[in-house]
Structure 1
Amino acid sequence: MGFAKTLSSFTLLFIGYTLVNGSTPKFTLDSHPDSESVISANHEILASVTGSLSEAKAAALNHYSKSFQGFSAMITPEQANQLSEYNSVVSVFESKMNKLYTTHSWNFLGLETVYKSNHISLDTASDVIVGVIDSGIWPESESFTDHGLGPVPKKFKGECVTGDNFTLANCNKEIVLSEEPWLWFVIGPLLQASLFGIANGTARGGAPSARLAIYKVCWFGFCSDADILSAMDDAIHDGVDILSLSLGPDLPHPIYFDEAISIGAFHSFQKGVLVSAGAGNSFFQGSSLNPIRMEQSYGLIYGNSAAATGVSATNASFWKNNILDPTLIMGKTVICTIENFISEDRREKALTIMQGGGVGMILIDHNAKDFGFQFVVPTTLIGLDAAEELQAYINIEKIYPTITVLGTKPAPDVATFSSMGPNIITPDIIKASLLIAAIIKSHYPHWGPAAIKSAIMTTVIGRDPNGTQTTPFDYGSGHVNPVASLNPGLVYKFNSHDVLNFLCINGASPEQLKNLTAALTQCQKPLTASYNFNYPSIGVSNLNSSLSVYRTVTYYGQGPTLYHASVENPSGVNVKVTPEELKFSKTGEKITFRIDFFPFKNSNGNFVFGALIWNNGIQSVRSPIALNAIYLMLIASLPVSLLGLHLKRMHLYHFCLQNK
């Protein structure tokens, strides 16, 4: 009896190809043919390793023919290796699974005032098309009404795709395209809404009349690389302005050249499409915002004190259906305990509390206190030690429903499980927080991805509620400020050539560049240092002596203006900006400046942080600074064993990434 072959989903990308008399595929750099020709050629190429055309058609999953060429298929690793030997195959990589991330609150970001303070008509945003790549939508929702919207922009090439419980009637001037939508997502219009009767209010999107193009790639919370790349290929061709992907991989994060989102994002960037993708919560433990406003206090009650008639206190403490007395929990925050941390549904407990009239839950669960769950009532998970402290407090204090507790740590706070920087692959780049792209695109329709990203990053709020400076590795440049981002003043721009230079200086090989770009790409000499990449942040991962960094800004404002530089010096480093003033006479004018760093203290392997601020009395343009200051003379004095350990760790990390 033989063994069954193990099949996996592999994605294969080409530069270009032709077939000669049905023989072994020969590749050329021809322009992209039509989709039917690509699909036919894909099947013939696949048949060269599967053995027959019928098997090839059965194995094929996705065909990429618009923004780049290729396909994904269920084949064996041996067949994948055989395909990789073809002379102009760009890359062959196994399709991995990604997970869905979360969404955010528009109210917390202050979007109420964006359209009022900037006098933006809702019609202004109506030509912005947001491509949403996730688990789909409920098209029946009133959120997707097209009332008041004009015709679909002519630039959009997509078509409505029907599916189970989804007809052409579900597409309208708001949902301009949908590929098998299934779950909900809100971007544009307004809707009076309530989630399970909780938090009654207005559910709305960030750009009130932006159009939606929905691409369903996730089922049961998981999303494959092959489907994501297919959706991005379609979206770029369809003419979306912005792509939103609230999803991403688990650790170890693949390097940029073998990962679907990065490959799709690069092609999107080349076409002027901004990609906003989730950073995830699976890296260094750190500091992602928890935007909960505590405007009212509520009484506490233990579950065992709210048992229904005939129910034991022990059973009530585990807080299950039909064991609680609604009259005792009405308007209170309920304390309950997990009985079986593996099989028990924590969300069901919250639903039971909500149905009984409770307003919140404190769940004693030491196994899950560092995990994120979606609850229908505000919920805090605590461990056993915290539970004992809470019990001691309850035993000695009377809890009043309207008490105000002072001296507590204010929100927004940071979830312990949220990932933080730096990114080990490219530590010189401080990542952006991207939530407001559609609004900026509607205000500046001709801006590209780099300008939009710059406007978001340089206008953020960089301090926590106590006024303490947070670090860029906690949550990027800072907390987004939608109102300020519409009037950034100065913008840092870069293009795809700058991106390729950045990858080259960080050691990308021609083969890796080919994987990313789907073209025969060579590094162009001389290369520019990675810290001179014209990004809105400044990062130097190895500052071992004085160093000069250069940036170029473009002015977008009304009339002549003068910007003055100020610096928040990183600890142990002196900073000088030349020139200290930037004088602009008209919009669109560019000026290059230099930032000199003079380290005088070793940072002991830790990054130190500061900021460069340009201010003209109206706009404040802030760029975070992150430096790892290491004196060469101090490095020489370190034990060789420590240096060897550091280098070994970095080598192993990259080895894991390249051999996923």
Structure 2
Amino acid sequence: MKASGLGWAVLLVLLGLVVKGKAEIYIVTVEGEPIISYKGGENGFEATAVESDEKLDTTSELVTSYASHLEKKHDMLLGMLFEHGSYKKLYSYKHLINGFSVHLSPQQAETLKRAPGVKSVERDWKVRKLTTHTPQFLGLPTGVWPAGGGFDRAGEDIVIGFVDSGIYPHHPSFAAHHDDPYGPVPKYRGKCEIDPDTKRDFCNGKIIGAQYFAEAAKAAGAFNPTIDFASPMDGDGHGSHTAAIAAGNNGIPVRLHGHEFGKASGMAPRARIAVYKAIYRLFGGFVADVVAAIDQAVHDGVDILSLSVGPNSPPTNTKTTFLNPFDATLLAAVKAGVFVAQAAGNGGPFPKTLVSYSPWIASVAAAIDDRRYKNHLNLGNGKALAGLGLSPSTHPNQTYTMVAANDVLLDSSATKFSPSDCQRPEVLNKKLVEGNILLCGYSFNFVVGTASIKKVSETAKALGAVGFVLAVENVSPGTKFDPVPVGIPGILITDVSKTMDLIDYYNVSTPRDWTGRVKSFKAIGSIGDGLMPILHKSAPEVALFSARGPNIRDFSFQDADLLKPDILAPGSLIWAAWSPNGTDEPNFVGKDDLL
């Protein structure tokens, strides 16, 4: 007699013939409708499906009993196929899709694929993380905000769920106003996890939900609680930034290095924030954790889902691009009445680089606004070289001697430290730098993140320089440069032709002996004021880094019949909250605010 697929799998387990390879995480979908679309008829359970304009009542007995039924079926399937302890179920997905994620061997995954009732078994894949003037630029103060009750009421009682890297709850953008306190939101049923360090929960009325999801990350051995935080605490900065942009309090002063850059506001300043942390600093995240976060957010009753995260690429092991657990979850969320917005991605300017390709959600491209922070370097020969600022000026009507880092080395052995990057003050001669402008070179180290403009500023300050110039000598087409706020005069020259003008002037003005050693420094210059923004009328334009459509290529490298992105929104040079815990943006380590 021929054994059924399920019976054959059980027989293999009993005979000990299933050889295990290295365990991996798989997302499994099974037959049977999830809560959001179940219309009744299975094992006597009544319907739990909702219409698209209705919200799911997750507290009803019908929903909770059917949810328990689905989870028991997941456990039963795994228990019938495999020995206890040979696998680990990470999540049961019940509300938006019917399935689960599990950590098991590839051989066990093959067994699952052949089991009756199993629709798909997908190996988990990675995801990555993809405003003082912006409200005025968008016309909110005279348009949207008054219609929503004014800037002090816009977004009232709206709950935005952020699936991101968590939140830094101590930032003033997320404070609960004592003069205008936030009341309860009965429709929201999420919970607030406890900060293991402070022993307090993350919620205060503005933040009304905070949970973290890391079972897949832990199973994969990628989670480090020391830096990733086993809590909703933001260890990266990205989650705090996006939450403040969307729902940060209105009128929050942006102060950095003793300078104020205006007052920031979220686009819906009275909206509530619900945090679903599933992205981490060093490795990004896993789809299994993100799906669990989305499933929980819809269960909890969010109105909007903000996803500034997306898969590294379209899944390669599904029959079509869109029939994978991640995009099916997004479809079910939309069916549940939740508006889902996802960043288009940062793979531009090349075409077909979208990572947000679900037809049923809003894919948002990044635009520049009309604000620029520019500066200039005045040379002793009368030339003014344009660059990027966000720094104060040197003393007005005064010029200073300019010294190149390579010409002020304490020892020739320091060349092994890439001294022109100006990252190590200990290799440069303070006596020659003090009171002068330090000239540094922008190398590939800045591109890969091993060098930072912040460190250049710290080096110049430690050596007593009055300011610094960071000049780009070679740059790949399409490289994006952002101004970085610093506390001393400084300028980043990104135009290679302007850098050549600076080098030519410096060389002509700097006499050397026959060995190449500088005899005296005679090049002079001054740095302008880069703190004031300049408004350009060229905006809005698609940001260079923003992912492009008009479609994507699916798993078989065929063009998908899809037009994306759907909408364009400011996504460059935005003042908003940051987390001082984040380290993957070297220019902003330890800062509470970010450009």
Kindly provide the amino acid, as one letter, of the partner of residue 215 in structure 1.
Answer: Y
Distance 1:285 1:198, change over 3 A: farther
Aligned residue runs from structure 1 range 80-229, under 5 A: 80-101=109-130, 106=135, 108-114=137-143, 118=147, 120-121=149-150, 122-147=152-177, 148-165=180-197, 167-179=199-211, 180-183=231-234, 184=240, 185-186=243-244, 187-190=247-250, 191-194=252-255, 200-221=261-282, 222-229=284-291
Q: Contact between 1:160 and 1:168, CA under 8 Å: does it hold in 2?
A: no
Distance 1:372 1:101 in 2: 17
Distance 1:252 1:240, change over 3 A: closer
Q: Contact between 1:303 and 1:316, CA under 8 Å: does it hold in 2?
A: no
Kindly provide the amino acid, as one letter, of the partner of residue 370 in structure 1.
Answer: T
Kindly provide the amino acid, as one letter, of the partner of residue 172 in structure 1.
Answer: N
Distance 1:12 1:252, change over 3 A: closer
Distance 1:188 1:69, change over 3 A: same
Instruction: Verify: 1:237 aligned to 2:320, yes or no.
Output: no
Distance 2:69 2:115 in 1: 19
Kindly provide the amino acid, as one letter, of the partner of residue 317 in structure 1.
Answer: S
- Which residue in 1 is equivalent to 2:344? 279
Distance 1:104 1:55, change over 3 A: farther
Distance 1:390 1:328, change over 3 A: closer
- Which residue in 1 is equivalent to 2:458? 352
Kindly provide the amino acid, as one letter, of the partner of residue 120 in structure 2.
Answer: S
- Which residue in 2 is equivalent to 1:289? 367
Distance 1:402 1:104, change over 3 A: closer
Structure 1 residue runs of 5 or longer lacking an equivalent are 19-26, 437-474, 476-660
Distance 1:319 1:115, change over 3 A: same
- Which residue in 2 is equivalent to 1:419? 547
- Which residue in 2 is equivalent to 1:13? 29
Given the alignment, which residue of 245, 251, 257 partners 2:322? 257
Distance 2:402 2:295 in 1: 52
Distance 1:335 1:50, change over 3 A: same
- Which residue in 2 is equivalent to 1:655? none
What displacement does 1:278 show? 1.2
Distance 1:288 1:435 in 2: 5
Q: Contact between 2:132 and 2:265, CA under 8 Å: does it hold in 1?
A: no
Q: Contact between 2:195 and 2:233, CA under 8 Å: does it hold in 1?
A: no
What displacement does 1:387 show? 4.5
Distance 2:460 2:258 in 1: 9
Q: Contact between 2:97 and 2:325, CA under 8 Å: does it hold in 1?
A: no
- Which residue in 1 is equivalent to 2:395? none
Q: Deviations over 1:466-493 (max 9, x none)?
A: xxxxxxxxx9xxxxxxxxxxxxxxxxxx
Percent identical residues = 24
Aligned residue runs from structure 1 range 476-515, under 5 A: none
Q: Contact between 1:336 and 1:362, CA under 8 Å: does it hold in 2?
A: yes
Q: Contact between 1:129 and 1:212, CA under 8 Å: does it hold in 2?
A: yes
Kindly provide the amino acid, as one letter, of the partner of residue 91 in structure 1.
Answer: S
Distance 2:499 2:298 in 1: 51
Q: Deviations over 1:410-466 (max 9, x none)?
A: 666655443222113444524222659xxxxxxxxxxxxxxxxxxxxxxxxxxxxxx
Instruction: Verify: 1:370 aligned to 2:479, yes or no.
Output: yes
Aligned residue runs from structure 1 range 510-521, under 5 A: none
What displacement does 1:6 show? 1.7
Distance 1:285 1:399, change over 3 A: farther
Distance 1:386 1:14 in 2: 62
Aligned residue runs from structure 1 range 20-31, under 5 A: none
Q: Deviations over 1:326-349 (max 9, x none)?
A: 74459xxx6523275768333554
3-state SS, counterpart of residue 205 of structure 2:
coil
What displacement does 1:316 show? 5.5
- Which residue in 2 is equivalent to 1:432? 566
Kindly provide the amino acid, as one letter, of the partner of residue 422 in structure 2.
Answer: W
Q: Contact between 2:21 and 2:107, CA under 8 Å: does it hold in 1?
A: no
How many matched pairs? 420
Instruction: Verify: 1:268 aligned to 2:333, yes or no.
Output: yes
Instruction: Verify: 1:247 aligned to 2:325, yes or no.
Output: no
Kindly provide the amino acid, as one letter, of the partner of residue 418 in structure 1.
Answer: S
What displacement does 1:289 show? 3.3
TM-score by length of 2: 0.58
Distance 1:357 1:67, change over 3 A: farther
Return the structure number with greater relative CO, CA threshold 8 A, min gap 6.
2
Distance 1:135 1:111 in 2: 28
Cα RMSD between the aligned structures?
Answer: 4.6
Q: Deviations over 1:540-583 (max 9, x none)?
A: xxxxxxxxxxxxxxxxxxxxxxxxxxxxxxxxxxxxxxxxxxxx
- Which residue in 2 is equivalent to 1:466? none
3-state SS, counterpart of residue 207 of structure 1:
coil
Instruction: Verify: 1:64 aligned to 2:76, yes or no.
Output: no
Q: Deviations over 1:367-411 (max 9, x none)?
A: 69636789555986859777546645888999775699x9x9966
TM-score by length of 1: 0.53
Distance 1:403 1:174, change over 3 A: closer
- Which residue in 1 is equivalent to 2:422? 319
Distance 2:290 2:114 in 1: 25
Distance 1:338 1:171, change over 3 A: same
Q: Contact between 2:436 and 2:466, CA under 8 Å: does it hold in 1?
A: no
Aligned residue runs from structure 1 range 535-550, under 5 A: none
Q: Contact between 1:133 and 1:231, CA under 8 Å: does it hold in 2?
A: yes
Q: Contact between 1:284 and 1:421, CA under 8 Å: does it hold in 2?
A: no
Kindly provide the amino acid, as one letter, of the partner of residue 68 in structure 1.
Answer: I
Q: Contact between 1:160 and 1:171, CA under 8 Å: does it hold in 2?
A: yes
What displacement does 1:193 show? 3.3
- Which residue in 2 is equivalent to 1:338? 443
Q: Deviations over 1:500-553 (max 9, x none)?
A: xxxxxxxxxxxxxxxxxxxxxxxxxxxxxxxxxxxxxxxxxxxxxxxxxxxxxx
Q: Contact between 1:304 and 1:317, CA under 8 Å: does it hold in 2?
A: no
Distance 1:394 1:4 in 2: 66
Kindly provide the amino acid, as one letter, of the partner of residue 244 in structure 1.
Answer: S
Which of 315-324 and 233-242 deviates more?
A: 315-324
Distance 2:483 2:77 in 1: 45
What displacement does 1:74 show? 1.1
Kindly provide the amino acid, as one letter, of the partner of residue 282 in structure 1.
Answer: G
Q: Contact between 1:213 and 1:240, CA under 8 Å: does it hold in 2?
A: yes
Distance 2:507 2:372 in 1: 24
What displacement does 1:267 show? 0.9
